[in-house]
Amino acid sequence: MADSTRTTRTARTSRDVVFVDGVRTPFGKAGAKGIYAQTRADDLVVRCIRELLRRNPGLPPERVDDVAVAATTQTGDQGLTIGRSAALLAGLPQSVPGYAIDRMCAGAMTAVTTTAGGIAFGAYDVAIAGGVEHMGHHPMGSGVDPNPRFLSERLVDPSALSMGNTAENLHDRFPHLTKERADAYALLSQERTAKAYADGKIQPDLVPMATRSPEGAWGYATVDEPPRPGTTLEGLAELKTPFRPHGRVTAGNAAGLNDGATACLLAAEDVADEMGLGKRMRLVSFAFAGVEPEVMGVGPVPATVKALAKAGLEIGDIGRFEVNEAFAVQVLAFLDHFGVADDDPRVNPRGGAIAVGHPLASSGVRLMTNLARELAEHPEVRYGLTTMCIGLGMGGTVVWENTAWEGAV
């Protein structure tokens, strides 16, 4: 028989979740000549966590309720339950737990939405979420053993297992998204990144990293390694198409192979007020969606439709877009669907992954950190979103509200 004298459980209400702060390492080129060739992956994300704590002295470290760190390849220096191991290495108290998470390119985005859900539910007050990918140490697909049923039972098209081929498939499906448009968009990404650097807009959220060369010489990484400021349309037009003879996807209109890490601080809004923490933007809604794996680049479209519906918003309500640039054609497919111009100034105004790089599981928080800065500079904008395509046929979108919106009561 139940104990009728037991205290009635506390009623739960959803709490608002705010993005307090976000940082990242400069992104490097993967490979033996990249700036992080001799740097451990876990040290990259540890540096980000330490910087968050340094920048937010009002947060007692013991008040961090969980640390979620994403990595696509969870082995070697990206293994050992990297959220927990990074928390310990960063000097957080042993009482602070952590875990690893994976949703391929949307790993850090999922770390954010998962911990934010815990905050909204009341299980957490404060959480750290981020991601790391060292593609030099762990090349994309290394150690993967796809189940033969995928192909023998035709569950997916064979091209679905090659991200570059899925981008070529998008060009096939939407023939009006030409290579010329993709190259023009890629050039715009490079130009906007160069301008953002010149204006000092990217540097404030970069965490400098000590580096070491194979010869043992020490260096100091303070800027992204991948940008190509001398890019021209003529140069882009001459690049090889490695995924298909006479194809449209090149190294110039796609993100490269990169190393880097990100981390952000999330909190319940009332707790942020209590601690005197900054509140850059407020979570409104999020959604993930599945699509045909062989055209995974279209994933942001249904994810955004779902996220906007959950928020009761329309695409016209969004004043800033941070779209991950895995491939130019993937961004163009998103913009084309929603009737947004290729060169719309609301989209990736600080450039994107084609220029700065895309270390897989880390990129979601880079998008959020950029968006938070943009919203702070534009109090006339109320809503923004971050969105990205995800391998094996998915998309993810998070809608945010500007806490500095000038129309707030």
Write the DSSP string, 368-401.
HHHHHHHHHH-TT--EEEEEEEETTTEEEEEEEE
Distance separating alpha carbons of residues 227 and 225, to the nearest angstrom: 6
CB distance 91 to 52 below 8 Å: no
DSSP string computed for 184-243: HHHHHHHHHHHHHHHTT-SGGGB--EEEE-TTS-EEEE-S-S---TT--HHHHHTS--TT
Whole-structure pTM value: 0.96
- 389 classed as catalytic: yes
Report DSSP letters for 18-84, one per residue.
EEEEEEEPPPEE-STTSTTTTS-HHHHHHHHHHHHHHH-TTS-GGG--EEEEE-SS-SGGG-STHHH
CB 197 within 8 A of CB 223: yes
**Whole-number pLDDT of residue 7:** 59
The answer to whether the beta carbons of residues 84 and 92 sit under 8 Å apart is no
pLDDT for res 214: 82
- pLDDT score recorded for residue 220: 96
Dihedral angle sign, alpha carbons of residues 288, 290, 293, 297? negative
**What domains are defined for the chain?**
17-138+255-401 (3.40.47.10)
Local structure of 99: helix, strand or coil: strand
For residue 218, the model assigns a pLDDT of: 94
Please answer whether residues 19 and 281 qualify as being in contact, where contact means their C-beta atoms are separated by less than 8 angstroms. Answer: yes
Residue with structure tokens 């979740």? 17
Pick the catalytic residue from 48, 134, 171, 389.
Answer: 389
pLDDT score of 216? 84
**pLDDT beneath 70, residues of the chain:** 1-11, 408-409
Helix, coil or strand: residue 273: helix
- Give the model's pLDDT for residue 3: 55
The number of residues making up the chain comes to: 409
Active-site entry in 134, 137, 171, 358:
358
pLDDT of residue 142: 87
Q: Hey, which residues does 273 pair with through a beta bridge?
A: none
Q: Which of 105, 138, 264, 378 is catalytic?
A: 105
| Token reading at 76 | 């070697």
CA distances from 195 to 136, 181, 242 (A): 28, 21, 30
Phi-psi category of residue 143: left, alpha or beta, with phi > 0 → left and psi -120 to 50 → alpha: left
Q: Which of 383, 379, 380, 353 minimizes the C-alpha distance to 367? A: 353
What pLDDT does residue 213 have?
86
Place of tokens 């957490």: 124
Q: Could you tell me whether strands 126-134 and 383-390 are parallel, antiparallel, or unpaired per DSSP bridges?
A: unpaired
